[in-house]
Chain A
Amino acid sequence: MLELKHISKWYNVGGKPTFILKDINLKINDGEFVSIMGPSGSGKSTLLHIIGMLDDASEGEYNFMDQAVHTLREKQRSQLYKQHIGFVFQAYHLIDELTVYENIETPLIYQNIKSSERKAMVADILDRFQIVGKKDLFPTQLSGGQQQLVGIARALIAKPRLLLADEPTGNLNSRQGEEIMDLFKQLNKDGVTIIQVTHSEKNAGYGSHIINLLDGRVEQ
């Protein structure tokens, strides 16, 4: 599905480059469920953002579904990830001014999907996540776990092939966390490739394999 070759990322701090990612080589196949672990500040989120095309690498090659991402222009790249990638954040990042329903609907709007079709898709996912009763509430009226469910529903609404999750259970209690992990497991079974960042060994265990990051390098 995707392959990183010699990916590095650095920022210029005080005139000299500080490396955040150094020479990352990584290959992830269709249907995998990968967990990225590592101490705080080791570059996990940065790596996930590069994979999700929200950030550029400073150096290296990135191929995603047979396309050389590092050569694509902004518009094409956004087209690519709009179709194939869903993102889940630790802080949920829902739009406060929109209801649950409208939040979930937003990605479909940006893909120019017809209104009737959108209705059906949102209804479907609300049903699947059992949050139909909450569809007219605003994010601030929900608990953390519920908000994260909405966040995941929004990430999945456009039926992505790849789900990226940055500490999705970081702000949740353990029971809520478990529910989310079970959901991920089920999704993976249905064919969605998942890459998650996590601090918890237990959550990492849900995945098919683990990548350890330390100071911007992959630990073998």
Chain B
Amino acid sequence: MLKNYLIVAFRNLKRNKAFSFINIFGLALGMVCSLLIMLWVLDEKSMDTWHANDSRLFVVYEQQTYDGKVEAGYYTPGLLYQELKKNIPEVEMATGFNPGTDNATFEAGEKIMKVKGTFTGADFFRMFSYPLLKGDRNTVLKDPSGMAISRSMANNFFGSPDSAIGKTIRFENKSVFTVAGVFEDLPNNDSRRFQYLINWEAYVKENQWLTEWGNNGPHTYIMLRADANPALVEKKIAKFLDNYNKYLDANFKIELHLQKWSDMYLHSNFKNGKIAGGRIEYTHIFSVVAIFILLIACINFMNLATARSMKRAKEIGVRKVVGAVRSSLIRQFIGEAILISFFAVLLAILFLALLLPAFNLLTNKQIEFPFRSWTFWLSLAGLVIITGFIAGSYPALFLSSFRPIAVLKGTLRLSPTSASLRKGLVVFQFMLSIILIVGTIVVSEQIKYVQTKNLGYNKENLIYIPVEGDLTTKYTLFKQQALKTPGIQLVSRTNQAPTRIENSTFGVKWDGKDPNARIAFTQVSVGYDYAKTLKLSFKEGRDFSLDFPTDSTNYLINEQALKRIGYKDPVGKPLTFWEKKGTIVGVLKDFHVNSMHAPIVPLVIRLSETDPWGSILVRTDPGKTQLALTGIEKLCKELNPKFPFTYQFADQEYQKLYSEEKTVEKLSDCFAVLAIVISCLGLLGLAMFTAEQRTREIGIRKVLGASIQSLFALLSKDFLKLVLVAFLIACPLAWWIMRGWLQNFEYRIPVSWWAFALAGVAALMIALCTISFQAIKAALANPVKSLRTE
């Protein structure tokens, strides 16, 4: 029986090459699309979950209640992890982790290099499964002079992990560490990217603020005992900080909470103090997109199969007469669909292998073709069967329901319901495609908007140089020299990059402030000429100036801060910052200090040219960047010879704030194109079918004198109507969906009417081109020929 079905299926495929191509190619496109998304989602979901103790690893986050707000974040006091381990019996191990993996300069022998890495506690390698090539897990980070480095870092400095162990390496030209361990380079399914880890004590020694409970900075990771109940532990530690942080009271509460450590990667956004999604949202969105696209491809299949059912009807009638029961026919047609989807999957595998490198580039991933994965092949088999069933079920049920005598007598008419179902499916396909197109347009417009919006400062021609090594003390000299260098207009400095000012404090006081109120201000320290270098505008007052020696305790604020403080004439009014009394000398117009995801917050700017970290800001003459860079490099080499010269462009750093959105943009571009291509393939098939079915009618009309235009209109208008209906349904849906996505941005474009117009016109034009190919062919055909074939 199977053989008989296979034979018929194969001969049908061969006889109707165009339809077979549309079915198989369309389905393969849909499949490769959902396979890519599936691999991407699996990769995202597997991130960080590979550690042996995964189920017992947790990150502690703080939920802070103050000033009528509830906020949350991963930043915790530097002392927290030790206290948790000491006092909570369920906490078996714990470590602090500095989340800012910055480039640091290392020196060993002749070699000086910049490497990314961070500081962490002694339990780190006992909690996490990062493979250690050299050294002992239990002691690597115990010794205050010990550190661990990656295999590549070991290779780069010492030639091999073997020769690296026990060697000393100079860190930031100020301290020396011994390589106590070498760990394997981090695997692709780990979201952290450190190449070295230095013990916690060294970190604390350099950063005394870590020993105060009022300061937050590091992450706190803990490992629970195997028998511990995380929910109970979470309850137990909720008020833990009340015993340590002396600032906590009725106006300022902090609760500690737990999140599974491996969940951080996908769920790292907080809203109103609660975990509120993150990357997980994109995995959901794209899973839905994958299903949509597969559905669009399946619909092609169903539509073509039912449209062509008249041709198969006779076969079915005869089979019924010679003894086929309905179930065996259903099996035959579903089997045929499964066969086609099997071919499609073969093609999809080929596409997948070809497209994966490009896809990786697009998504910044290193997904490999999962040859060896059982689950992959099993899910492929599942995909074949499921798409086979979805695509084949309707034609199977529909075709097998024909009454044989009606078919054989020739009195069978395709029921109008099947035609309207077909139309409905086409509308559905195009609706999905149009939604995807609108989505693509809105996403790219929003990204264009955030990239070109006036930030309140000028990010073009602005270079950052890290304050490190001797530059920390020779800044004034650097500035003097740099200003003499051709191509350089202005020089200033800051302790946080202008694209990302994030430090905040409660330590701001003013006249008339409720002494109990906790009000957070974002704060940054800057050098002279900061406002000029960034091209900030003043609402009133003046910039810090060497002419006013008291400026070291004077402050600039932004408009948001002024609103909070509430002074009528702010310039000259008193302001106390971290117990230093001073006055407000200027009010800056609001400017963006972070990405457009965040609102502009109250900001206090103080003067300090001696912070041991931060960036030097250099404003260059437009078009003379290269000249300026050469000059600065020479200067840096001179003043700070132990550190390799590095720099960043402010505009590029700003772009990086949207890297996730850009990936999404690129992906949605691809998928929207695919969706419309697959939909049009289906439309092409239907148009071919209609033209074929109506050759006789067209022939007669032509003999009677119909013009080519009128025939073209006759063949096209029904399809175009469907696309129009799809457009009308898609508009409100797309509007609703995209409005939701835009909520992620504090500053956003409205969903504009022209996005819809463009999507609609695009869909209509593409559909028209698709159909017209067939329509013109049919309209131009020689009528005598077409009549004779009947």
Using a CB–CB distance below 8 Å, which chain A residues touch chain B? 45, 49, 54-55, 75, 78, 81-82, 87, 89, 91, 93-98, 102, 105-107, 109-112, 154, 158
Contact = CB atoms under 8 A, between A and B. Distances in A.
B323 A98 contact: no
B379 interface: no
A89 B11 contact: no
A93 B298 CA distance: 32
Interface residues of B, number: 22
A158 B323 CA distance: 11
Nearest to A55: B405
B322 A106 contact: yes
Nearest to B8: A97
A95 B8 contact: yes
A110 B11 CA distance: 20
Nearest to A111: B323
Contact of B317 (A93, A107, A154): A93
Contact of A89 (B325, B328, B408): B408
Given A54-B404, A54-B405, A109-B4, A94 B318 contact: yes
Interface string B310-342: 000011011101111100100000000000000
A110 B1 CA distance: 8
B325 A109 contact: no
Nearest to A92: B318
Contact of A110 (B315, B317, B324, B409): B324
Given A82-B323, A102-B4, A93 B11 contact: no
Contact of B321 (A93, A96, A105, A111): A93
Contacts of B408: 89, 91, 93
A93 B314 contact: yes
Contact of B322 (A45, A97, A107, A112): A107
B323 A96 contact: no
Contacts of A110: 1, 319, 322-325, 328
Given A87-B321, A107-B323, A154-B322, A97 B12 contact: yes
Given A95-B318, A110-B319, 17 more contacts: A55-B405, A75-B325, A87-B321, A93-B314, A93-B321, A94-B318, A96-B315, A97-B7, A97-B8, A97-B12, A97-B15, A97-B315, A106-B322, A109-B4, A110-B1, A111-B323, A158-B323
A111 B4 CA distance: 13
A106 B319 contact: yes
Contacts of B314: 93, 95-96
B323 A78 contact: yes
Contacts of B319: 95, 106, 110
Contacts of B317: 93
A102 B7 CA distance: 9
A220 to B, nearest CB: 28
A54 B325 CA distance: 12
A113 to B, nearest CB: 10
A118 to B, nearest CB: 10
Interface of B: 1, 4, 7-8, 11-12, 15, 314-315, 317-319, 321-325, 328, 404-405, 408-409
B403 to A, nearest CB: 8
A81 B404 CA distance: 14
B321 A106 contact: no
Nearest to B316: A95
A105 B315 CA distance: 14
A111 B325 CA distance: 11
Contacts of B12: 97
| Residue of A78, A81, A87, A110 with most chain B CB atoms under a 10 A cut-off | A110
Given A54-B405, A111-B323, A154-B322, A105 B8 contact: no
27 contacts: A54-B404, A54-B405, A55-B405, A78-B323, A78-B325, A81-B323, A87-B321, A93-B314, A93-B317, A93-B408, A94-B318, A95-B318, A95-B319, A97-B11, A97-B15, A98-B4, A98-B11, A102-B7, A105-B4, A107-B322, A107-B323, A109-B4, A110-B323, A110-B328, A112-B1, A154-B322, A158-B323
Nearest to B326: A74
Contacts of B8: 95, 97-98
A159 B11 CA distance: 29
| Residue of A81, A102, A105, A106 with most chain B CB atoms under a 10 A cut-off | A106
Contacts of B11: 97-98
A82 B328 CA distance: 14
B76 to A, nearest CB: 71
Contacts of B322: 87, 106-107, 110, 154
A158 B404 CA distance: 20
Contacts of A102: 4, 7
Nearest to B11: A97
B327 to A, nearest CB: 9
Nearest to A107: B322
Nearest to B5: A109
Contact of B4 (A75, A89, A91, A106): A106
A55 B322 CA distance: 14
Nearest to B9: A97
A97 to B, nearest CB: 5
Contacts of A78: 323, 325
Contacts of B1: 109-110, 112
Nearest to A52: B321
A107 B4 CA distance: 11
| Residue of B12, B323, B324 with most chain A CB atoms under a 10 A cut-off | B323
Given A49-B405, A55-B405, A105-B4, A95 B323 contact: no
Contacts of A98: 4, 7-8, 11
A106 B408 CA distance: 17
| Residue of A45, A49, A97 with most chain B CB atoms under a 10 A cut-off | A97
Contacts of A107: 322-323
A34 B364 CA distance: 80
A55 B315 CA distance: 18
A184 to B, nearest CB: 19
A212 B242 CA distance: 107
Contacts of B318: 93-95
Contacts of B325: 75, 78, 110
A45 B408 CA distance: 12
- Give the 3 A-B residue pairs with the shortest CB-CB distance, closest first: A110-B323, A82-B323, A107-B322
A126 to B, nearest CB: 17
Contacts of B321: 54, 87, 93
A9 to B, nearest CB: 12
A128 B15 CA distance: 32
Contacts of A45: 409
Contacts of A81: 323
A106 B315 CA distance: 11
Contacts of B4: 98, 102, 105-106, 109
A76 B594 CA distance: 77
Contacts of B315: 95-97
B360 to A, nearest CB: 44
A154 B7 CA distance: 18
Contacts of A111: 323
B603 to A, nearest CB: 77
Contacts of A49: 405
| Residue of A55, A82, A93 with most chain B CB atoms under a 10 A cut-off | A93
Nearest to B4: A109
A87 B409 CA distance: 14
B8 to A, nearest CB: 5
Nearest to B324: A110
| Residue of B4, B318, B324, B408 with most chain A CB atoms under a 10 A cut-off | B318
A35 B8 CA distance: 36
A4 B404 CA distance: 22
Contacts of B404: 54
A120 to B, nearest CB: 17
A142 B197 CA distance: 83
A109 B324 CA distance: 9
A110 B318 CA distance: 12
A75 B328 CA distance: 12
Contacts of B409: 45
Nearest to A106: B322
